Structure formats: structure tokens, C-alpha cells
Amino acid sequence: MPKPLIGLAAGVALLAALPLAVPFMTFVVTLAVAKGFAALGVALLLRAGLISLGHAMYFAIGAYTTAFLMQKTGITDFAILVAASIIVATLAGLAFGAFLVRYRAIFFAMLNLAVSMVIYALCSKLYGVTGGTDGLRVGVPTVFAWVPEKAAFDTFLLYATLGLMLVLGWLGHRYLKSPLGHALAAVHTNEVRLEYLGVSAWSTLLTAYGISAGLAGLGGALSAMAIGHVLPEFAFWTESGHLVLTAVLGGVGGVAGPFIGSIFLELVHVVAVGVAAEAWNLIIGVALICVIFFLPRGLFGLIEGRRGKTGGTDL
Amino acid sequence: MLQTVAPLLMDALANAALIFFVAFGLTLTFSVLRILNVAHGSFYSIGAYVAASAGLFIVGAGLNPWLTYPSLILSAAAVAALFGPLVEKTLVRWTYGRGEAVQILMTFGLFLILEDLQRMVFGVNSLYEDTPMALLGITEIGGVVYLNYQILLIALAALTLVGLRIFIRHTRTGRLLHVVVADREVSEAMGIDTGRMFTLAFTLGVFLAALGGALATPTTGVAPGLGAETMVLAFAVAAIGGLGQVEGAALAAVIVAAARVLAIYFAPELDAVAPYLVMLVVLLVRPYGLFGKAAVRRI
């Protein structure tokens, strides 16, 4: 068995076993991995050199889709909710992405920000649909014919989330190794050359943008189920900033990076809440600046570097 | 007719004046340093906190209430003197010439740090200190009541716009700044200390943001989360005007403020959306803003 696979197996086993030893970690790990999906979406775009300051909107769209379907239509099945959230977020991503991916650099960041702030404002103002600033409550979903208790569902949600992480992580890995995935990095290095080679930068980026929106939507749906409540703040620009931060902290060099970043952040959060709850933002702000200074390839870069691999992806 | 429109217009212009300071600071920083400072809104709220605290101290100590006016300006200057050179020389300087992602992340990290520092220093309660506004009283023209403080704000914004124009066009330092904006490498080769210019421009940007915050406290007060809200608003205004365009920022501030006032008047639920909808529409038609110039694609 190759070394990275052993590391992966050990990591996943640890995540799966940790909640058995410490029950409240069920929630922490579920939320961490859920946010990891959204951070992975952001990381895909970062590979193309595009920084989105608005991806929290797809996270919110996924979360609101789940909450809305459960409250207004009575659909409670886990699989349908997750699938619907991914589809709605992906469609929204393709619709907005169709014009957003024409822009680069700061303009891309700012237009994403503008769209996400419109979504944020709509979420907090349309009381009839979104519950306004109160948000929407999310009940306990059912799993096919099984109607679980809250505790049982939380356990199920953890393992379902971990399972999804493995499946989608592998698919994401295949995607990055495919020509379409390599074209992303080529957009970053030299977009015009890519187009001379006959590859459309627009469709390459739109594909990535759609995938990233879908991933963020999935993260939102899983978070909504774990937290039991959705709020307009999910779409606020600082949340988008946190997603980028998570991706960069973990490293955008591989699929595992954003998940490592997200789990690391949530674990530090758990510790920090006990020790210095007031200074949480301060701590991650300093951590972010340290990563930018000293670890341009993120935590994942540490692992990758020790394997002696070259050609990691910098920012 | 005039009775309805005139107060609206005054509200819009006073609102525009406040946004203008912070957006102008952002756009100035961008035009000289070529970086988008995500922590810019924090300087606005720090300016507001310092000014409100100073005002409360002056009133509490029973000093002459007119002292609150110089204290507004001095608060902003103190914030700029403290943070401007420090931040530019340690964090921002390191990101020059690196990708936008690094610059945005670096300043986002700074934003997070400043948010918590504000909470630690000034607490989580909102501060409100309206002595400067109360001192000036009101003016009644044609049966319509105006706050004199609003008129002062508009005058100050106009003065700042003209003053900085003169500074950049007609003083040695201002012209050097202009040269650095036009061509960084050549100006360096001509012996201009670009590092000093960058520090100067960044500090000036911080000062304008802090001044906007300080001037806003008498009308709106200051509460946690103000920095994050102001940031996006300043973003929207700077982007609509075209990043790096001074007159653009002024016009955009008026447009955004007008949109907000109209929204509050006719469709209150759209108040918060209005600036971003305007930004979205403008950027879709003119991605480089109303006054911006299109950049050539790199090869």
C-alpha cells in the first residue's frame, strides 16, 4: 500500500474513532468536514488563481435549500435533501458563474462579493421565504424508512459525511488529474497560451465554478443538518473569507488540503473556546499571516514536502 | 414637492459624504499600492471607537464641548499615525508583487486580528456620542428642517476632494505620488523613494477611513461589526467608481447613497441590497467601474 493511502486511512480512522471516545466531537468533526467541502470548492478556484470572496453564498444556498424543503414541503429524506441542495447550489453556481468567470483577479473577487452580499441581504430581508434574520429551523431528517432520534441521526450524519468525503475526495482527485483539472492550473500560469492550444478558459472555469458551488452547497446542507438551524450570516462576506482562509491554511495542492485545514481549525476552535474565547479571530488571523509567510503550501504542503515531492501548488 | 425631495437629497448627500471618506481611502490605497485592503473597514470602526471614546471623555470631564470637534480629527490622525506605517511596513510591504490572493488574504488576516482587538479594547457595547451634532443645531429653510452637522459633513467631503486634488497636482509630494502611480519602476530608477511613498499613501488611506468613522459617530454611533459592514460598502463604492479613481469614488458615493435613500423611502426591505445591486449592474456593464480604464490581458 502506498504511503499516502496509509496516511489517509489513518486519518479517516482517527476521525471516525474520535467521536466514540469523546461524544461531543461528533458535532465538531461533522461540521469540520462539512465546511471542508466548501473550502475544497474554494481551493479548486484558487488553483486557477481565482480568489472568490463570495463562496459562502453557495454554502448558504445549500443550507437554505435543505431548511426550506423540510419546512415548506415536508420532504425529510436525507438523500433527497442532500441531492437537492447540491443541485440547487450547482445551478446557482452555473447561472452566476456564466458571467462571473469572465473576470479575473480583484474583479472576480469583488463581483463574487457583490453577488453574495445580494444573496445575504435577500436571506435576511425576505421574511416569508427565508425567515429573515431569525433564519429557519432544521428538524431531524429521516433516512429512507428509518426515523431516527436526534442523537442517532447525528451519529449517522457523521459517518455519512465521512463517507461522502472519501467518495467526493477521490472524485475530486481524479478531476484534478484529468485534462480539465490540469487546464485550471494552466489558466493561472498563462491563460492566453491555453486558448491558443484550443482550450476554452471560459468553459474550463465554468466547470470548476459549478463544481465548487455544488461542493459548497453540499457543505451547507450537511452543516444545516448538524447545527439544526440556518442563518443569513452563513452568506456574509466574512464567512467567504473564512472559507478561503481554511483552504489556504490546509493547502490547495491536493484534495486533502482543505479538509485538513478545516479539521485543524475546528479542533483549535474547540481548544480556544475553553482558553481564550475572546481571541478566536485574533488567533486565526495570526495563524493565517504565519501560513502566508512561512507555509505558502499550507499544512498539506508539510506532508507533501516530507515525501520529497516537487511542484506543489503555491498561491 | 420640495418639502419631500429636499430632505431626501440632504440625507443622500450627507450619507454620500460619510461613505466617500472611507471609499476614497480604499481607492487611494489601491491606486498607489495596487492592493485591495480588506482591513480598511476596521480602520473606519477603530476611528469611530477612538473618536466616540474621546468625545465621551471630553463631555464626562466637563471640558468645553466644542473640543469634541478637534478631537474627531485628532482621533483619526492618531489612528493613522499608529496603524498606517506599522501595518504598511510589516505586513503589506511583503505582499507587493505577489498575487492578489496573497494580498487579500494577508489583509483579511489583519481584519480578523483588528476585529478582536477592538472587542478587547472597547468592549462589546455600542458607543454613542452626539455632542458635535447637538452643538450645531438645525437650520430651517422653507419649512424644511436640516441638521447643520449634515451640511458640515457635505462641505468637509467636498473640501477633502478638492484639497487632495490640489495636494496631488500641485505639491511636490503629491506629484511624486502621481509619478509612482504612473510607473513604479521608472520612478524608482529616477531615485524616488517609493517605499516612503507607499507608507505615505497607506497612512493617508488609513487616515481617511478613520476620519470617516470619526465623523460618523455623532450621527450613527459605533457598535461591533461596523467594520465588516463598512468594508463591503466601501468596496461597492470604490468598485462602482473604478478602483483607483478619486472622482469616480465621489460620484459612486452619491449614487450609492441616493440608491439607499430611495430604497429606504420607497422599498425599505431593499435598503441593504441597494448598494450591491447598483454595484452588480455597474460592474456587469463596465467591469472596471464608471471611471476605470480597461486593463490589457497579459500574455
Nine-digit cell at B291? 471611471
Q: Of A241, A234, A300, give the one whose Cα is nearest residue A113.
A: A241
Range B192-202 average pLDDT: 87
Contact of B272 with chain A, judged by CB distance below 8 Å, is answered with yes
β-strand partners of B139: B146
Q: Is the pLDDT of residue A310 over 50?
A: no
Q: Given pLDDT bands bounded at 50, 70 and 90, which one contains residue A211? A: very high
Of A172 and B123, the structure prediction assigns the larger pLDDT to: A172
β-strand partners of A229: A137
For β-strands B138-141 and A229-230, DSSP reports them as unpaired
Of A260 and A125, the structure prediction assigns the larger pLDDT to: A260
Which amino acid is it at A163?
A: G
Q: A230 with A47: CB under 8 angstroms?
A: no
B70-113 pLDDT per residue, tens = 888 888 888 888 888 888 888 888 888 777 778 888 888 899 89
Percent of chain A's residues with pLDDT above 70: 95
CB contact under 8 A, A109 and B239: no
pLDDT at A308: 46
B125 contacts: CB under 8 Å, gap ≥ 6? B223
Q: Of A60, A51, A65, A64, give the one whose Cα is nearest residue A112.
A: A51
Backbone angles phi, psi at B23, to 5 degrees: -70, -35
Chain A residues touching residue B224 (CB < 8 angstroms):
none
pLDDT at B222: 80
Q: Given pLDDT bands bounded at 50, 70 and 90, which one contains residue A306? A: low
Q: Given pLDDT bands bounded at 50, 70 and 90, which one contains residue B298? A: very low
Q: Mean of the per-residue pLDDT values for chain B?
A: 82
d(CA A66, CA B66): 56
Range B187-195 average pLDDT: 86
Give residues 143 to 182 of A whose Cβ lies within 8 Å of B.
Answer: none
Range A208-232 average pLDDT: 91
* B1 to chain A, closest Cα gap in Å: 30
Q: Given pLDDT bands bounded at 50, 70 and 90, which one contains residue B195? A: confident
Q: What letters, b where the CB count within 10 A reaches 16 and e where it falls short, cover A246-273?
A: bbbbbbbbbbbbbbbbbbbbbeebeebe
Q: Is the pLDDT of residue B294 over 70?
A: no
Which amino acid is it at B241?
A: G
A101-130 pLDDT per residue, tens = 888 777 888 888 888 888 888 888 777 777
A283 contacts: CB under 8 Å, gap ≥ 6? A268, A272, A276
Q: Is the pLDDT of residue A305 over 70?
A: no
Backbone angles phi, psi at B138, to 5 degrees: -130, 160
Q: Mean of the per-residue pLDDT values for chain A?
A: 83
pLDDT at A272: 78
d(CA B105, CA A246): 11
Fold of the domain built from segment(s) B2-285: ABC transporter involved in vitamin B12 uptake, BtuC (1.10.3470)
pLDDT at A1: 54
Alpha-carbon Rg for chain A, nearest whole angstrom, is: 19
pLDDT at B91: 85
pLDDT at A309: 45
d(CA B210, CA A311): 43
B39-76 pLDDT per residue, tens = 898 999 999 898 888 888 888 877 777 777 888 888 88
Residue in B with minimal Cα distance to A285: B109
Contact of B165 with chain A, judged by CB distance below 8 Å, is answered with no
d(CA A39, CA A238): 14
pTM: 0.87
Q: Given pLDDT bands bounded at 50, 70 and 90, which one contains residue B296? A: very low
Specify the DSSP element, H or E, that contains B146.
Answer: strand B144-147
Considering only CB atoms, A281 lies closest to which of B112, B239, B269, namely B112
d(CA A35, CA A29): 10
Contact of B277 with chain A, judged by CB distance below 8 Å, is answered with yes
HSE-CB at B35 with a 13 A cutoff on CA atoms is 28
Sorted by where each begins, the domain ranges of chain A are: 19-236
Q: Is the pLDDT of residue A274 over 80?
A: no
Nine-digit cell at B106? 494577508
Instruction: Tell me the C-alpha to C-alpha distance, in Å, between residue B49 and each of A62, A237, B39, B118.
Output: 37, 22, 16, 8
CB contact under 8 A, A117 and B100: no
A23-81 pLDDT per residue, tens = 777 888 888 989 999 999 999 888 888 888 889 999 999 999 998 888 888 788 888 88
Considering only CB atoms, A281 lies closest to which of B115, B273, B287, namely B115
Q: Is the pLDDT of residue A147 over 90?
A: no
Q: Is the pLDDT of residue A179 over 50?
A: yes
pLDDT at B206: 93
ipTM: 0.84
Nine-digit cell at A304? 507533501
Nine-digit cell at B273? 441590497
d(CA A84, CA A136): 17
B103-139 pLDDT per residue, tens = 888 888 899 899 888 888 887 778 777 777 777 777 7
Nine-digit cell at A17? 474513532
Considering only CB atoms, B101 lies closest to which of A51, A103, A118, namely A51
Sorted by where each begins, the domain ranges of chain B are: 2-285
Q: Of B50, B70, B53, give the one whose Cα is nearest residue B61.
A: B53
Mutate: best of B116, B117, B122, B283, partner A, most A CBs <10 A: B116
d(CA B91, CA A66): 41
Instruction: Tell me the C-alpha to C-alpha distance, in Å, between residue B157 and each of B24, B45, B134, B254, B275.
Output: 10, 18, 20, 11, 20
3-state secondary structure string across A136-183:
EECCCCEECCECCCHHHHHHHHHHHHHHHHHHHHHHHHHHHHCHHHHH
Place of cell 476521525: A15
Instruction: Give the range among A34-48, A135-149, A294-308 with minimum mean pLDDT.
Output: A294-308
B134-155 pLDDT per residue, tens = 777 777 777 777 777 888 888 8
Residue in B with minimal Cα distance to A47: B101
CB < 8 Å & 24+ apart, contacts of B85-88? B85/B199, B85/B202, B85/B203, B87/B39, B87/B202, B87/B206, B88/B198, B88/B199, B88/B202, B88/B203
Q: Given pLDDT bands bounded at 50, 70 and 90, which one contains residue A283? A: confident
Instruction: Tell me the C-alpha to C-alpha distance, in Å, between residue A301 and each of A1, A30, A35, A45, A161.
Output: 21, 24, 20, 18, 24
